[in-house]
Structure 1
Amino acid sequence: MDRVAKAASQNKVVIFTKSSCCMSHSIKGLFYSQGISPVIYELDEDRCNGREMERALRRLGCNPVVPAVFIGGRFLGSVQTVLTLQVNGSLKNMLMDARCRL
């Protein structure tokens, strides 16, 4: 849990993903298309800490576990939440509040 919290608090936008997850790929693309370069943690490619971080995300209530998006150190949610915020315009405001360059 500490590793997830530390990663989320030290970066403006963090996305925990799996390289084989199409939703993870879509969410990363959404942020890249807005000029945001999030810190990406590919859980399935991190042999040392990937499973530990996945368990921590599950304990935070991430279901499904990936993609899990954090903005400004705060857990935002997964695909449905992020897309809802994008559609209603709130995502851009959250990114500006986190001082992300848009």
Structure 2
Amino acid sequence: MDRVNKLASQKAVVIFSKNSCCMCHTIKTLFSELGVGANIHELDEDPKGSDMEKALAKMVGRNPPVPAVFIGGNWVGPTDKIMALHLSGKLVQLLREAGAIWL
């Protein structure tokens, strides 16, 4: 869990993902189109990915835990929460506050 917390706070936006997850692809595409240079951790490519996935599941209370989006070091949510924030116009505000975008 320490590694997950450390990685989640290293950049304004951190996404824990898996290459095989279609919802992860959707979230990564959304942030890319918003101009966010997110730090993306592909759990299926990391030698410690399985341990991080277990820690994330405990941390966020979901299994599978991906995609897990952290903004400003805080867990914001999975796909449905991120999309709801985006559709309400609140995601861009969060990204500005975290210094992830400047527009």
Query: TM-score normalised by the shorter chain: which range applies?
Result: over 0.9
Partners of 2:17 and 2:42 within 8 A in 1: yes
Alignment of 1:20-99 (within 5 A): 20-47=20-47, 49-60=48-59, 61-99=61-99
Partners of 1:62 and 1:78 within 8 A in 2: no
Aligned-partner SS, 1:70: strand
Q: Percent same amino acid at aligned positions?
A: 51
Runs (4+) off by over 3 Å: none
* Counterparts of 2:17 and 2:66, CA distance in 1: 5
Partners of 1:43 and 1:54 within 8 A in 2: yes
Partners of 2:15 and 2:41 within 8 A in 1: yes
Task: Give the TM-score normalised by structure 2.
Answer: 0.94
Post-superposition shift, 1:92?
0.4
Partners of 2:13 and 2:72 within 8 A in 1: yes
Partners of 2:37 and 2:100 within 8 A in 1: no
Q: Which amino acid aligns with 1:71?
A: I
Post-superposition shift, 1:44?
0.6
Structure 1 pair 3/10, CA: closer, same or farther in 2 (3 Å)?
same
Aligned-partner SS, 1:44: coil
Aligned residues: 101
Task: Give the TM-score normalised by structure 1.
Answer: 0.95
* Structure 2: gaps (5+ residues): none
